[in-house]
Amino acid sequence: MSPGARHPDGTAAQPLRSDAERNRARIIAAARTTFGRDGLNASMASVAREAGVGIATLFRHFPAKEELVAAVFSDRMDAYADAVAVALADPDPWHGFTGYIETACAMQAADYGFADVLTMTFPTAKALEKRRDEAYEAMVRLIDRAKATGRLREDFDPSDLVLVHMANAGVVNATGDAAPDAWRRVVALLIQSFEAPARGPLPDPPEHDALYRAMLRAGPAGVTASEPDKSS
């Protein structure tokens, strides 16, 4: 086991030495800005440089890149889950629904790394995945509530929110800093298309399993991590 091992929830098993604690914090801060700017493609070396530590130090604290990613985006995932909770608390279900979409997509746009995390789910970060799944359940309730008011079209499917994220990720990735608000227009268009009454039928939503499998696909080079065992 690595020295200064920690429980999954981040509490220290044995307290780190003061300098180690400081470096750990620096690394996480550096990774936050670096991943946010460059997405998960950002190299570990660039994170180490930004943090002002050696590469080895980085890898001792986070033996694999995914662990660093998990540590960095843990709180952002909380904020994401909170957004659903806020939306559920909104007295106007439709307003809550649309507000949630805008908030969640804004988070994607503000942090390229988070956009990657949301759409590609890479398998190992169990903690992140769990919270993402909880958020998904809450989203289903949010959708049902919005449908009940008649503002949301009846054939809206929870998986459509995943598709929105994928589409948004496409726009955000492609436009980047050059047109940082372009995504807002696409999201606004999509939201208008969600509004009842439907203007026409839609192709069936993808199978739930298929969509989930799609999200497991390999992320950026090197992050691919554990291959999804061959006994499928």
59 forms part of the interface with DNA (CB under 7 A) = yes
165, 119 contact by CB (below 8 A): yes
Q: Which pair of tokens denotes residue 199? A: 């203007």
d(CA 132, CA 139): 10
65 binds, among its own copies, DNA, none (CB under 5 to 8 A by kind): DNA
* Window of 29-37, 57-65, 144-152, 178-186 that interacts with its own copies by CB under 8 A: 178-186
Q: Is 181 in the site for its own copies (CB under 8 A)?
A: yes
Q: How far is the CB of 143 from DNA (least distance, A)?
A: 37
DSSP one-letter code for 58: H
Should residue 23 be labelled a site residue for DNA when binding is judged by CB under 7 A? Answer: yes
From DNA, its own copies, none, interface partner of 18 (C-beta below 5 to 8 A by class): DNA
Minimum CB separation from DNA for residue 217, in Å?
16
Out of 46, 74, 103, 173, name the contact with DNA by CB under 7 A. 46
Cα 130 to Cα 16: distance, rounded to the nearest angstrom:
28
CA 21 from chain centre, in angstroms, equals 26
Q: Is 107 exposed, middle or buried (0-12, 13-18, 19+ CB in 10 A)?
A: middle
Looking at the DSSP assignment, which residues form a beta bridge with residue 6? 12
- Tell me which of DNA, its own copies, none is bound by residue 206, counting a contact when its beta carbon lies within the kind-specific cut-off of 5 to 8 angstroms: its own copies
Distance CA 149, CA 94 (A): 8
Q: Which does 188 bind (CB under 5 to 8 A by kind): its own copies, DNA, none?
A: its own copies
Q: Which amino acid is located at 204 in the chain?
A: D
Number of residues that bind DNA (CB under 7 A): 28
Q: Cα–chain-centroid distance for residue 165?
A: 9
Using CB under 7 A as the binding rule, whether residue 20 contacts DNA is answered as yes
Residue with tokens 């503002």: 151
Comparing CB distances to its own copies, the nearer of 32 and 165 is 165
Instruction: Tell me how far apart the alpha carbons of residues 69 and 114 are, in angstroms, rounded to a whole number.
Output: 9
Which residues contact DNA by CB under 7 A? 3-4, 16-20, 23, 42-46, 52-57, 59-61, 63-65, 221-222, 225
Which residues contact its own copies by CB under 8 A? 119-120, 160, 163-164, 166-171, 173-176, 178-179, 181-182, 184-186, 188-190, 192-195, 198-200, 202-207, 210-211, 213-215, 217, 221
